[in-house]
Amino acid sequence: MASEKSSNAKTSHKFQRSGFSYEQLIRFFFASNAGLTIVILTLIIAFLLKEGLGFFPGYRRDLETYRIAGLEFVDISRNNLTSHEQLTSLLNRAYYAEVNGKSARELKRTEEASALYNAFTDQVGPTRDLIINNPQARTDANAGMKAALLGNYEKQREKALLKPINTPHLTAKEREGLLESLRTRPPEATEDPPLVAALAQEFVAAQQKHAAPLQEFRTVIDDFESAGFDLGSIIMEMTESVTVTKEQLQTADILEKDRKTLLAAASGEKDPVERERLLADARAALADKPDVETPMEALLERKPECARLHEALKTASSDALKKIPSRLSDPDARRLLGAARKAWPQFIADLEAAPKKISAWKHTDPVPLSDAILSFLTGKKWVTGGEWQDFYGILPLAVGSLMIAMIALSISIPVSISAAIYVNHFAKPREQALVKPVIEFIQAIPSVVLGFVGILVFGTILREISVMDAFQWVPGFPIEERLNIFTAGCLLALMSIPTIFSLAEDALNNVPSAYAEASEALGASHVQTAFRVMIPASFSGILAAILLGFGRVIGETMVVLLVAGNRIKIPDFSEGLGAFFQPSHTLTGIIAQELGEVPLGSVHYRALFVVGIVLFAVVLGINATAHHFVNRAKK
Amino acid sequence: MNDHQEKPMESRTSATAVDIRNLSFNYGSTQALKNIGLNLKRNEVTAFIGPSGCGKSTLLRCINRMNDEIAGTRITQGEILIDDINIYDRSVDVVKLRRQVGMVFQKSNPFPSSIYDNVAYGLRMRGERDSAVLDQSVQESLESAALWDEVKDRLQESALGLSGGQQQRLCIARTIAVKPTIVLMDEPCSALDPIATAKVEDLIWKLKHDYTFIIVTHNMHQAARVSDKTAFFYMGELVEFSDTSRMFSNPSVKKTEEYITGRFG
Ligand SMILES: Nc1ncnc2c1ncn2[C@@H]1O[C@H](COP(=O)(O)OP(=O)(O)OP(=O)(O)O)[C@@H](O)[C@H]1O
Ligand SMILES: [Mg+2]
């Protein structure tokens, strides 16, 4: 353009610009690369939104079906039944904990004897199988073979009895007897060694003995359990009918979708013959509207009965609460019973509210889109691929992600910030040259490898520690699951340390050296200078470092997938901080785990995209905030 | 000011404040100071002059061990005594040393906090919490630094909002707030206009009865105006050290005369 204009003047002057220069070429290359990244980012966002936003209408329809078919109605009763089952299980566990606690010695003895016996059978088992099950050996067709097998059996037996496991609760005589019976045990013997059998009986006897005084408790539990039977059976009947309706509705939905696709194809088709064919197909796909009203009427007729059963269960439950023993002797039993007692009032309140809920429920209530959005954002259930009803509530995932991030940051912030301060302000050049690369090297460890270490080493060690007597004061100890929020948090702390460290160190480095000099010339010590001058002056930068570390932790996938335990449930906070030792799932983990298995375009598939959008928005928000602080630090 | 300068120097018979003996100093392998010997008297103002790169700042920073913070530096020979204590002895706590030997830098460097906090910083680092004591110290120091009237209504505002000259006087106030006995000043007026420079010089004259000043300057007039003694350095060596009046009227070394009269440097 420019050259054209100047060519009007015909004569070239001494500032004449030459045509398309090399410099312009380079410039264009750089510009196109920069532009490309922006285009790609835009495309990614557009793709996420396109795939994700279809989720809400789809989920709304799911919830509508859930209501129209009556599943929602059944769930009112079912939730209460589930609570009832949980309470029953707690009571039962308390009961057995009490009985077994009192028979602890007998339990140990039978366990030890069985363990020794099992170790023995594990060792000789394969050879024994060959001897017993070998048809040749049985018919004595090959005596040499049989002899060889028997010889081998003897060898295995010797090996097995070389170092039998410890049995501190058996007397020396009992132990010797057991070993002797194993030494002389013929390969074809099937019954347990006499001592193992005797100890099992001893245990049963002890159990019976200790169960006797608890007879009343047993009756209470049994009565309580059977009080739920009627409700259980009516739920079962209703379940059958509503699932049929639901299936019909879903089939109709699919047909309707097909029809719409065909119609769309037909309207786009130019060839009249072909179009006619498509239209005919579409007409054929026109589904009969499934009859939901008749089964619904039958369902609604059960309302009074359901309400009555709830009343009955409520009365039975209140009675049971009065009758359960006030005190048990075994600590485990006490804990379980306490948990049951704690849950009881809520259970009764739910039962009491149920009849009202049942009578107020209407299958014709509309399901607005906001319900789907609300159910996604505040839903406590993420249930997928079930036969009953899928729920996509993000809360358990978000809580898991957040709790893991809390653990990770509460470890990595102090560690990395103090390391940064040390390296920047205290370390000798030689230490700097060592520490900095080492910390930054952590970043180079592939997260899968870190996950391995987490499972095999860290999780195991944590569990070992958690059963030690010295650590029983820690809430949540002994832990039940090796893989839990805490384990994942610790590993993520390790992963976020380099991020926070590097950025915080940069921030400290950016503090003009004149500040530190001035402070030290005024007679402040190194530590005082660090805390009074360096940190305040680089505060924005350090905050940004922490935020970016947070972003990294929230966005990390592999480690949490491997180590967090992947249980989709909001941790139980009734144990206080012990909740951090429970397994959990995460926003990132769920996408990685489920995206490969869901059918393309399904509601579940789209739900995962929306989780992705949420994640993207959160990380974007964190980074933007961090950016804001970095800019402030630069000023 | 000139009448001050005319004062007979012989009348000061104070003890030695800083005694530098045969000092050699290295940055890594390059020697920056060669065998310097200087004896500075209490309550005198000494000016360090010399061409750029001759080692004035280096020597100044040796006196409160600010060079410790630079990696690879070391004293290769000699010692510095303050009140008869070798400050490079292993037993010396640099923090305590620096509380006695204050320093004002060539480039003003107030902290990015309020004016008040800047001046109170040193005392606070010493554990002073009593706000009455701090208030009084801040006011006195700012008054001595001839800054009080200009900032008394904005003590809580950021120090970075002050002009360059005000910032430099704030740094002086900050330094004298902790009551050192020796004040090192590295070209304190290089960024100041003549009026601000005059204020700083007045300040030095006003305070010299309580402090021992060492001031590095490239301004010969300033050296002549404010100092009692002058040391001339060249290429890391001390060329001449004598009373300022003598140095500027009748230098004994030819190099000094050439430098003072502006024939090189
Ligand atoms: N941090 C340092 N590392 C290495 N060499 C340095 C360092 N600081 C100063 N030097 C060298 O030491 C010598 C003396 O420097 P110094 O700063 O003391 O000079 P100066 O007399 O203060 O100069 P100016 O008047 O320009 O401030 C110079 O040659 C300089 O290059
Ligand atoms: Mg200098």
SS (H, E, C) A359-399: HHCCCCCCCCHHHHHHHHHHCCCEECCCCCCCEECCHHHHH
DSSP-derived secondary structure letter, B158:
B
In terms of phi and psi (left: phi > 0; alpha: psi -120 to 50; beta: otherwise), the region of B78 is left
B96, B98, B124 member nearest A521 (Cβ): B98
> How far is the C-alpha of A12 from the C-alpha of A1, rounded, in Å?
15
Contacts of A536 in chain B (CB under 8 A): 112-113
Among protein residues, the one whose CA lies closest to atom 24 of ligand 1: B52
Q: Cα(A153)–Cα(A156) distance, rounded to whole angstroms?
A: 5
> Which value, to the nearest 10 degrees, does the dihedral of the CA atoms of residues B62, B63, B66, B69 take?
50
Beta-carbon contacts of A42 under 8 Å, excluding residues fewer than 6 positions away, are: none
- Let me know: does A249 contact A363? Beta carbons within 8 Å: no
Chain A residues within 8 A of B112 when measuring between CB atoms: 515, 536-537
AA letter at A63: L
| Nearest residue to A324 (alpha-carbon basis) of A92, A79, A86 | A92
Q: CA A547, A548, A549, A554 torsion: positive or negative?
A: positive
Note the pLDDT tens digit of each residue in B88-112. 999 999 999 999 999 999 888 899 9
Helix locations, chain B, DSSP H: 2-5, 56-63, 94-100, 115-125, 131-144, 148-151, 164-177, 194-207, 220-226, 244-249, 254-260
Identify the three-state secondary structure at position A568.
Answer: coil
Ligand closest to Cα of B56 equals: 1
Q: Is the dihedral of CA B227, B229, B233, B237 positive or negative?
A: negative
Strand partners, B183: B102, B213
User: Distance between CA A132 and CA A127 in Å, rounded?
Assistant: 9
Min distance A537 CA to chain B CA atoms (Å): 7
Contact A456, A557 (CB under 8 A): no
Q: Please name which of A406, A404, A380 lies closest in space to residue A394, comparing C-alpha atoms.
A: A380
Inform me whether the C-beta atom of residue B178 falls under 8 Å from chain A C-beta atoms. Answer: yes
Domain range summary for chain A, segments of one domain joined by +: 2-53, 100-222, 401-634
Of B69, B111, B124, the CB nearest to A520: B69
> Which residues fall within 8 angstroms of residue A292, CB to CB, at 6 or more apart?
A68, A69, A245, A248, A249, A363
Q: Which residue of A has its CA nearest to B120?
A: A522
Atom 4 (ligand 1) nearest CA: B27
**In angstroms, how far is CA B75 from the centroid of its own chain?**
20
Nearest to A523 among B99, B105, B107 (CB): B99
For residue A287, the model assigns a pLDDT of 67
- Which chain A residues are closer than 8 Å to B126 by Cβ? 523
Write the ipTM.
0.87
**What distances in angstroms separate CA A37 from CA A25, A41, A49, B219, one per listed residue?**
19, 6, 18, 56
Measured CA to CA, the distance from residue A75 to residue A306 in angstroms comes to: 12
CA distance A309 to A354: 10
Q: Which helix (H) or strand (E) holds B18?
A: strand B16-27
Taking an 8 Å cut-off on Cβ atoms, the answer to whether B105 and A525 are in contact is no
Contacts of A525 in chain B (CB under 8 A): 95, 125
Is the Cβ atom of B161 under 6 angstroms away from ligand 1? Answer: no
Find the B63 Cα to ligand 2 centroid distance in Å.
14
pLDDT of residue A399: 94
DSSP symbol at A212: G
For the residues B51-66, what does the mean pLDDT come to?
A: 92
CB contacts of B122 in chain A (<8 Å) are 522-524
Give yes or no for residue B55 CB within 6 A of ligand 1: yes
Backbone angles phi, psi at B27, to 5 degrees: -95, 105
CA distance linking residue A532 with residue B121, whole number of Å: 9
Tokens 């054209």 label which residue? A4
Tokens of A60: 């709304």
Query: Helix %, strand %, coil % for chain A, to 5?
Result: 80, 0, 20
B96 and A523 within 8 Å at the Cβ level: the answer is yes
Question: CA A476 → CA A8, A185, A408, distances in Å?
Answer: 85, 45, 18
Separation in Å, CA of B233 to nearest CA in chain A? 24
Give the distance (Å) from ligand 2 centre to CA of residue B107: 10
Average pLDDT by stretches of 10, chain A with 635 residues: 49 75 86 92 90 90 88 89 91 88 84 83 79 62 72 79 79 80 76 83 87 85 88 89 87 85 83 83 76 84 88 89 82 84 89 88 87 91 85 93 94 94 89 90 88 85 83 79 88 92 92 91 91 90 92 90 88 80 92 89 90 92 89 72
Classify the phi-psi angles of A328: left when phi > 0, otherwise alpha if psi is within -120 to 50, otherwise beta.
beta
Say if ligand 1 is within 6 A of residue B49 CB. no
Name the CATH topology of A401-634.
Answer: MetI-like fold (1.10.3720)
Give the closest of A515, A517, A522 to B122, CB-based. A522
Residue with the bigger pLDDT between B240 and A172: it is: B240
Cα(A486)–Cα(B46) distance, rounded to whole angstroms? 65
Q: Which of A524, A544, A549 is nearest to A425 (CA)?
A: A524
State how far residue A630 is from chain B, nearest Cα, in angstroms.
Answer: 17
Looking at ligand 1, which atom is closest to the CA of residue B233?
21
Does the pLDDT of residue B13 top 60, yes or no? no
Chain B interface, mutation test: which of A517, A522, A538, A540, most B Cβ atoms within 10 Å? A522
CB-CB neighbors (< 8 A) of A519 in chain B:
111, 121, 125
Q: Work out the burial of residue A493: count CB atoms within 10 Å of its CB; fewer than 13 is exposed, 13-18 middle, 19 or more buried.
A: buried
Cβ atoms A595, A608 nearer than 8 A: yes
Q: Which ligand is nearest to the CA of B59?
A: 1
* Interface contact B109-A518, CB threshold 8 A: yes
Q: What dihedral do alpha carbons A34, A36, A40, A41 form, nearest 10°?
A: 20
Q: Is the CB of B27 under 6 A from ligand 1?
A: yes
| Angstrom distance (rounded) from CA B128 to CA B109 | 23
Measuring CA to CA, how many Å separate A493 from each of A400, A486, A585?
Answer: 15, 10, 17
- Whether B134 has its CB under 8 Å from any CB of chain A: the answer is no
Query: CA A330 to CA A328: how far, in whole Å?
Result: 6
Q: Does B110 touch chain A (CB under 8 A)?
A: yes
> Which tokens hold the place of B164?
């360059």
Q: Whose CA is nearest to atom 28 of ligand 1?
A: B53
CA distances to A104, A121, A128, A178, B131 from A193, rounded to whole Å, are: 22, 11, 16, 7, 86
Average pLDDT over every residue of B160-176: 90
**B165: contact with A, CB 8 A cutoff:** no
- The set of residues, in sequence order, having a beta carbon less than 8 Å from that of A137 and lying 6+ positions away, is A130, A131, A145, A146, A149
Between A and B, how many CB-CB pairs are < 8 A?
A: 64
Q: Are B162 and B110 in contact (CB under 8 A)?
A: yes
Which residues are within 8 A (CB) of B25 and not within 5 positions of it... i.e. 6 or more apart? B31, B32, B33, B55, B58, B59, B62, B67, B73, B74, B75, B76
- On average, the pLDDT of chain A sits at 85
Chain B residues whose beta carbon lies within 8 Å of the beta carbon of residue A507: none
Rounded Cα distance between A387 and A389, Å, is 6
Taking only residues 499 to 518 of chain A, the set having a beta carbon closer than 8 angstroms to any beta carbon of chain B reads: 512, 514-518
Q: How far apart are the first and last CA of chain B?
A: 27
List b or e across A386-415, with b for residues whose CB sees 16 or more CB atoms inside 10 angstroms: eeebbbbbbebbbbbbbbbbebbbebbbeb
Does residue A183 contact residue A161 with C-beta atoms inside 8 Å? yes
| B3-260 CATH | 3.40.50.300
Nearest ligand by distance to the CA of B185: 2
Could you tell me which chain B residue has the CA closest to the CA of A538?
Answer: B112
Q: What is the mean pLDDT of chain B?
A: 87
pTM of the model: 0.77
Q: Which residue of A has its CA nearest to B64?
A: A521
- The answer to whether the CB atoms of A520 and B98 lie below 8 A apart is yes
Q: CB of B217 closer than 6 A to ligand 1? A: no
Token output for A329: 């002797």
Cβ pair B109:A429 closer than 8 A: no
What was the pLDDT predicted at A363? Answer: 84
Rounded to the nearest angstrom, the minimum Cα separation between A434 and chain B is: 16
Query: What residue owns the CA closest to ligand 1's atom 26?
Result: B52
User: Is the Cβ atom of B52 under 6 angstroms away from ligand 1?
Assistant: yes
Which residues in B28-123 belong to E strands, given as ranges? 30-41, 45-49, 73-82, 85-86, 101-104
Judged by CB atoms closer than 8 Å, whether chains meet at B105 and A523 is answered as no
Confidence of residue B9 (pLDDT cuts 50, 70, 90): very low
| Residue ID of nearest Cα to ligand 1 atom 22 | B57
Where do the structural domains in chain B lie, given as residue ranges? Answer: 3-260
Of B25, B26, B27, best ligand 1 pocket probe by most atoms within 8 Å of the beta carbon = B27
State whether B175 and A525 contact (CB < 8 Å). Answer: no
User: How close B143 comes to chain A (CA, Å)?
Assistant: 19
Q: Which of A248-252, B80-84, B228-232, B261-265 has the lowest mean pLDDT?
A: B261-265
| Model pLDDT, residue B262 | 80
Cβ–Cβ under 8 Å, residues A556 and A400: no
